[in-house]
Structure 1
Amino acid sequence: MRLRHALAVLVALSGLAASAQTELAVEPYTFTADDGRTVEAELGRFRVPENRQRPAGRTIGLAFVRFPSTSPTPGPPIVYLAGGPGGSGTGTAEGTRFDLFQSLRAVADVIAFDQRGTGFSDRLPECPHEVALPLDVPGTRAATDAAWAEGTRACAAHWRRLGVDLAAYNTDESADDLDALRHVLGADRVSLWAISYGTHLALVTIRRHPDAVARAVLAGVEGPDHTLKLPSHQQVLLEQIDAGHRAQNPEASFLADVEAVLDRLRAAPVVVDAEVEGETVGLAIGAFDVQWLAANMLGGPELSMQLPGLFAAMRAGDFSTVASWIVYLKQPSGIAAMSSAMDAASGASLWRRARIASEARRTLLGDAINAPGPAQSVALGVPDLGPAFRAPVASDVPVLFISGTLDGRTPVANADEVSAGFSDHAHLVIEGAGHSDPLFLGSPVILERMLSFFGGAAVESETVHLAP
């Protein structure tokens, strides 16, 4: 049975050797949103070399859904780039941003693009190995890194046995895929609409194919050297949460609670009862467990605003509420080839690594936000794209940056840094927004500015205030 499965995967991976992409195949497609609404669209497929460094190698299939413009004079096609890495453009269009995709048709065709290895594009085989962190032992950074490195090495060996070229899954190749998409669409230029990792890809595309991009909207900016996060950005966000908490509770100190809890757990981890699959188990909680949890909850206010209550309870000796969160964080997790390889290839500069190490020693959460990324990347063994890849991007392409003040993944400072290289840019700062949907859906003003920008109008930098 296992042999038949392996043979089937090898056949699926085989592809056709070619040095250039094949013709575009397009078919009518009824696109269905998650809520059941439908819209007539087009499903397109084409092929590109998997690894352009190996022209005689196999090809892979890429796919997209095109929502035709409702304008009599549409502008360059707007190509949506999902985050992750590993997010699907077509999958995103099915969800909460469905209306946003449809609204942008007023100015151009809107393309939900599935990057290599995602969505309707050719997928990579799953890895049978999972990473499971022990519940009865308090977590440490070293143990977490080691467990993920071991699982990643096993997955890398599995994928290579199946013929997967992990070196082909990097942002340079994806940027060249975008230019191939532009070519098969017959477009002189395309506009890019991206979020999170998608902005990382968009920026590299602007550098590699400057004449192919008309303009770009980049939300939740991840610059070429932003794959690893700065501890100082998370510390600033903790201080913002503390200030907001003090405004409502003058006698409370969120930061003092965090420090007290971490000091207690460093001195002696605690053991509490936790429910796992209907059974009660003893969960050991250490300082790193709490740091890692808090770092992962700082993506947006939906989760981060629960932190003051959680830490106040822990400081008072009640770890029962946080237990379920930590169990979730430690549950067996799979490893995805595309997303792991993309991040590993992007890497980080020596300067950024040194800064992270320095900041980790003087911030409450250290560099828990990056766990277990660096160790996993080393274990995967893919080529690093190098210092030139991580250099700042300089361009005349007009860009509208969008950032949220409560985004613990891609803070406002990221866009400020990247925008220095763009001669024509504006920055829309969403006060009170975290990562993901709020950067697009937090206020109707955001869509208004995006429509104006993609329509060719000048847009000014401004701050948009969301309701608390």
Structure 2
Amino acid sequence: MRSIRMLALLALAPFSQVMPASAQPATSDRIVIEQGNVTLPTGESVRYEIGTLYVPENRRKPASRRIGIGFARIKAPHPTGAPPIFWLPGGPGLSVLGTFTDKSEGAQSRLRSWLTFGAAGDLVVIEQRGYTSRGEMLVETADASPLDKPASVQADTRAMQALARRAVVHNPDKDLSGYTIDAFAADVDDLRRALGYDKISLFGGSFGSQWSLAVMRFHPEIVARAVLSSVEPLNNGFDMPSHVFAALQRIAYDADRDPGLAPYLPNGGMMAAIRALHQRFATGPIRVTIRDDAGKAQTVVLGAQDLQLALLAHTDEAEHWPAFILSLYYGHYDAWTRQTIEDRRAGPVKLIGPLADSSLGVTADREHQMRTDPAVDLLGTWNFEANLVSAPDWPTPDMGDAVRRPRVTPIPVVFVHGDWDTSTPIENTLGLLPYFPNGHAILVHRAGHDGTFYQLRESPAAKQAIYDFLRTGETKELPTEVSLAAPRFEVPDFAPPTRPRR
């Protein structure tokens, strides 16, 4: 989702400010490197480097001011002879360097994952210009949406246009036109040179995969190989509605066969419930009154376009999605209403997302396909409308079709993609694969919008083959398909009906 409401939710993701790891950093006019140690729960001490790379804010202007970009490096315990692995975070707007100091389970899990790369080579993590804990975090506040009116794409689009104009006014000392995908790619090349590497391998998921594809587009000579998951091609920043809906259908197939959900399913299963909801809300909006934690009553108006957003709620954890949809089907709207109240509040938006997205845009033929896609009736145009209409209000220049359209490249790439992914549908990889004659796709049944090793968590052999590929480039042990076990679906928090609702 690229709507302003979803961007505001993404901006709430936590980050940790990283303090200097050493009082005696190695410095130059473009890079600062500090030494650090982190102690693992096992008691083992791991050395790492953390630093700041200084780059032009606008690479098209020689006199542009310099901005800082955070990075970290964990050197391999023993030389492997392989290129270093540059780990590119997603988002846009995921700050990860707090991993070294954050004691949360999520941070500890990420650190454990990073350490496993040592078997393949050095690991270098680079943050994103405009959202980095060792530089600037460009954030603007999105306006609240009224509770007494149903949501609409048109209102969301006007809010995105207002946000763009406000961001420019509130940042007179910054050149926001410099936050384009080619600048993100050049930052990776600058860090490569500053650290003294010739070739590098890329590892990224979601926006990290799109960023990696940009590095391969603008600097192909520096990339030895890449592993990309939840793939987002340069022309696919906005999803095709029918591809998203196909992922929902695949989730629904297993949900329809789950014994715990069986008493709640109408004739026709999950898809019948969705069609019934669509018909119900086509007759007009509804008003739902709930009481907040303080006992105060709040009334929210929910309409057909709110339902479009709701259909994609909880799909990041598919085991929760059927219970949510079935609750709506049976008229249990309270949880949805509470979430809508939160979604409509004023909140921060990470600016690098719309800056990069509006600049990269989409080709005219793909825009036509998105607008005329049959699944628009169910999912609407939330995914792309606000960004496309507001593009002239953002200062980043249009990158052009020559950048957006894929090109044939000999770079070996392993694509890992789940068929339950509703954020970057699996069709993204299937459409891109013909342009990579040395590419290899691993299609993961029942995996969602996740990183490579989480998608392959039930296949140790596949995970090992990925490490071997990063180290040697060898692909013969890589599978083409992996299946995860069906999840234990959550059931609605009310007793099943004595007779299914028609």
Q: Secondary structure of 2:139's match?
A: coil
The 3 A distance-change label for structure 1 pair 463 and 85 is same
**Could you tell me how far 1:315 is from its partner in structure 2?**
2.9
The structure showing larger relative contact order (alpha-carbon pairs under 8 Å, at least 6 residues apart) is: 2
The 3 A distance-change label for structure 1 pair 324 and 449 is farther
Tell me if 1:157 matches 2:190. Answer: no
Aligned to 2:156: 144
Within the candidate set 286, 291, 300, 1:270 is matched to: 286
Q: Secondary structure of 1:282's match?
A: strand
Q: State the AA in 1 paired with 2:124.
A: I
Tell me if the contact between 1:275 and 1:324 (Cα under 8 Å) persists in the aligned partners. no
Aligned to 1:100: 113
Q: Secondary structure of 2:379's match?
A: coil
Q: State the AA in 2 paired with 1:452.
A: D
**Could you tell me how far 1:307 is from its partner in structure 2?**
3.3
Separation in structure 2 between the aligned mates of residue 409 and residue 187 of structure 1, nearest angstrom: 34
Aligned to 1:235: 245
**Could you tell me how far 1:34 is from its partner in structure 2?**
11
Separation in structure 2 between the aligned mates of residue 405 and residue 447 of structure 1, nearest angstrom: 18
**Could you tell me how far 1:194 is from its partner in structure 2?**
0.5
Aligned to 1:292: 309
Tell me if the contact between 2:180 and 2:396 (Cα under 8 Å) persists in the aligned partners. no
Q: State the AA in 2 paired with 1:462.
A: T
The 3 A distance-change label for structure 1 pair 230 and 33 is farther
Tell me if the contact between 2:185 and 2:211 (Cα under 8 Å) persists in the aligned partners. yes
Q: State the AA in 1 paired with 2:409.
A: S
Unaligned runs of 5+ in 2: 1-27, 101-106, 487-502
Tell me if the contact between 2:53 and 2:71 (Cα under 8 Å) persists in the aligned partners. no
TM-score for both structures, normalised by structure 1: 0.87
Aligned to 1:4: none
**Could you tell me how far 1:88 is from its partner in structure 2?**
2.4
Aligned to 1:464: 482
**Could you tell me how far 1:26 is from its partner in structure 2?**
1.8
Aligned to 1:7: none
**Over residues 387-411 of structure 1, what are the superposed CA-to-partner deviations in whole Å (9 max), with x where a residue is unaligned?**
1110103211111111011111112
**Could you tell me how far 1:48 is from its partner in structure 2?**
1.7
The 3 A distance-change label for structure 1 pair 463 and 363 is farther
The count of residues paired between Structure 1 and Structure 2 equals: 442
Q: State the AA in 2 paired with 1:464.
A: V
Tell me if 1:132 matches 2:148. Answer: no
**Could you tell me how far 1:462 is from its partner in structure 2?**
1.7
Separation in structure 2 between the aligned mates of residue 360 and residue 132 of structure 1, nearest angstrom: 31
Aligned to 2:393: 379
The 3 A distance-change label for structure 1 pair 35 and 166 is farther
Separation in structure 1 between the aligned mates of residue 224 and residue 124 of structure 2, nearest angstrom: 15
Aligned to 1:337: 351
**Could you tell me how far 1:32 is from its partner in structure 2?**
7.1
Tell me if 1:190 matches 2:203. Answer: no
**Could you tell me how far 1:275 is from its partner in structure 2?**
4.1
Unaligned runs of 5+ in 1: 1-20
Aligned to 1:213: 223
Separation in structure 1 between the aligned mates of residue 374 and residue 44 of structure 2, nearest angstrom: 47
CA RMSD, Structure 1 to Structure 2 (Å)? 2.5
**Over residues 254-304 of structure 1, what are the superposed CA-to-partner deviations in whole Å (9 max), with x where a residue is unaligned?**
122112212222212111123456332001111111111223533x3x1x4
Q: Secondary structure of 2:444's match?
A: strand
The 3 A distance-change label for structure 1 pair 205 and 344 is same
The 3 A distance-change label for structure 1 pair 92 and 389 is farther
**Could you tell me how far 1:441 is from its partner in structure 2?**
4.4
The percent identity for this pair of structures is 27
Separation in structure 2 between the aligned mates of residue 385 and residue 362 of structure 1, nearest angstrom: 26
Q: State the AA in 1 paired with 2:163.
A: G
Tell me if the contact between 2:456 and 2:482 (Cα under 8 Å) persists in the aligned partners. no
**Could you tell me how far 1:86 is from its partner in structure 2?**
1.4
Tell me if 1:118 matches 2:131. Answer: yes
Separation in structure 2 between the aligned mates of residue 96 and residue 374 of structure 1, nearest angstrom: 37
Separation in structure 2 between the aligned mates of residue 185 and residue 349 of structure 1, nearest angstrom: 36
Aligned to 2:3: none
The 3 A distance-change label for structure 1 pair 141 and 164 is same
Tell me if 1:224 matches 2:234. Answer: yes
| More deviation, 101-110/363-372 | 363-372
The 3 A distance-change label for structure 1 pair 381 and 167 is closer
